Chain A
């Protein structure tokens, strides 16, 4: 058995158990709906491995749709993803997840993905794509002006009920 898999005969009642060596990233980069300047990040929707990535990493860079006051994040501490002490930077970058979606902010850009899949079939096509969408774009705001905003616009908003975090 090689790579990152190990057996440990010393674990109690661990007959034949194989464990996987932990992944320890230096930095995790996550994009969330909102965060405050102290690094308290709120995200909702399917979380996949978002929490695990931030918890495993030594440091977290949080990119967010909305940079909010800490009264917003602290109104719902259950929704904060990682300890603020791990967050090394907060970046206010609306659209930062595009072409992937952000629940409540924008939808997945299906056409953009299909275009990428087509163009990246050849090295020349991939390089042209990189120039068009990465190297020749000065910043995210310019990038967001180039995409089809109407195709990813959220048409129906649906808010959750507030949770009561009293007392005092």
Chain B
């Protein structure tokens, strides 16, 4: 999942790097195919080198040493509001077919079964970054027909122009990367379709674990396995498997 996420980062991108897996994806991309990508951290940092040590949070001292810019949160968010951020990553508890994300409540928002951490920088990224990607564990309870609450808007009700009509400046989600495959959105948004399936899984697996009738691309393929360079970078920056191991703290939102 980290390697696949890292491939969404293009060389030269300014990437809004949330916590958890996106930090690793940035580290992998920077070492593999995007040496000129810069990372922006909402706590108030810009970097062009992954930190030299494991990070538990984005404000850890190794992430500050060698920074290109250390500032306050509002300056970083303002860059995004100006449309200067190319790509953002957002985790979530629930996502629907139109890419809307929920990190707020499970159940009826006025009487929730579960209260989640809330937006963090998620809604800002979803509204303002030029494009964004969701990372999520692929389960029926997470990929749902309808999210309980829209914390971070994707393409709303899926009708053409929904984002523009609602004044959302950024382009919207381009992919939902899960533990089973990659769902993509066509140019202009709308509904997600299955673009590739990770090695060891099938289209039927993915559809069976999705809470709506998932469309499948005509040219659906197998996701390329992580390269040696991608795996080496991932292991270097997460030596204990804290973010990527079997009991990794996946999902959730930043920070």
Q: Chain A residues in contact with chain B, CB under 8 A?
A: 16, 44-52, 100-101, 103-104, 107-108, 110, 113, 154, 156, 158
Does any Cβ of A come within 8 Å of B59's Cβ?
yes
Q: B72–A52 contact, CB under 8 A?
A: yes
- Smallest Cβ-Cβ distance to A111: which chain B residue: B56
Q: A16-B167, A108-B56, A110-B56 are in contact. Are A46 and B61 (CB under 8 A)?
A: no
Q: Which residues of B lie under 8 Å from residue A47 when comparing CB positions?
A: 44, 70-73
Distance in angstroms from B57 CB to nearest chain A CB is 6
Q: B70 — which chain A residues lie within 8 A by C-beta? A: 44-47
A101 contacts B59, C-beta separation under 8 Å: yes
Note all chain B residues with C-beta closer than 8 A to A113.
Answer: 56
Shortest CB distance A80–B (Å): 14
In angstroms, how far is the closest chain A Cβ from the Cβ of B232? Answer: 23
Contacts of A154 in B (CB 8 A): 61
**Which A residues are in CB contact (< 8 Å) with B45?**
46
B74 interface residue (CB < 8 Å to A): yes
Closest 9 CB pairs of A and B: A46-B44, A46-B43, A47-B72, A110-B56, A45-B64, A46-B45, A108-B60, A48-B43, A48-B73
A-B contact list, 17 entries, CB within 8 Å = A45-B59, A45-B64, A46-B58, A46-B67, A46-B72, A47-B44, A48-B73, A49-B73, A51-B72, A100-B59, A101-B59, A103-B64, A107-B60, A107-B61, A108-B56, A108-B60, A154-B61
Q: Of residues 71 to 93 in B, which have CB atoms within 8 Å of A's CB atoms?
A: 71-74
For B60, the chain A residues whose CB sits under 8 A away are 101, 107-108
The chain A residue with its CB closest to the CB of B67 is: A46
Residues of B within 8 A of A156 (CB): 65
Contacts A108-B56, A113-B56 given; does A45 touch B72 at CB 8 Å:
no
Q: Which residues of the other chain, B, contact A45 by a CB distance below 8 angstroms?
A: 59, 61, 64, 70
- Is A108's CB under 8 angstroms from B61's CB? yes
The chain B residue sitting closest to A51, CB to CB, is: B72
Nearest chain A CB to B8's CB is how many angstroms away?
25
Known A-B contacts A101-B60, A107-B61, A108-B60; the reply to A46 vs B167 at CB < 8 A is no
Q: Is B41 an interface residue (CB 8 A)?
A: yes
Closest residue of B by beta carbon distance from A104: B61
Q: Is the CB of B65 within 8 A of A158?
A: yes
Residues of chain A contacted by B73 (CB below 8 angstroms): 47-49
A108 → chain B, closest Cβ, in Å?
A: 5
Please state if B61 and A49 are interface contacts (CB–CB under 8 Å). no
Which residues on A sit within 8 Å (CB–CB) of B62? 107
| Chain B residues whose CB sits within 8 angstroms of the CB of A51 once the complex forms | 72
* Bound form: Cα–Cα A154–B162 in Å: 50
Identify 15 new A-B residue pairs, CB closer than 8 A, beyond the known A107-B60, A110-B54: A16-B167, A45-B61, A46-B64, A46-B71, A47-B72, A50-B72, A100-B57, A100-B59, A101-B60, A103-B61, A107-B61, A108-B60, A113-B56, A156-B65, A158-B65
Query: What residues on B are CB-neighbors of A108 within 8 Å?
Result: 56-57, 59-61
In the assembled complex, the Cα of A101 lies from the Cα of B64 at a distance in Å of 11
Docked complex: B13-49 residues within 8 A CB-CB of A = 41, 43-45
Cα distance A79–B212 in the bound complex, in angstroms: 53
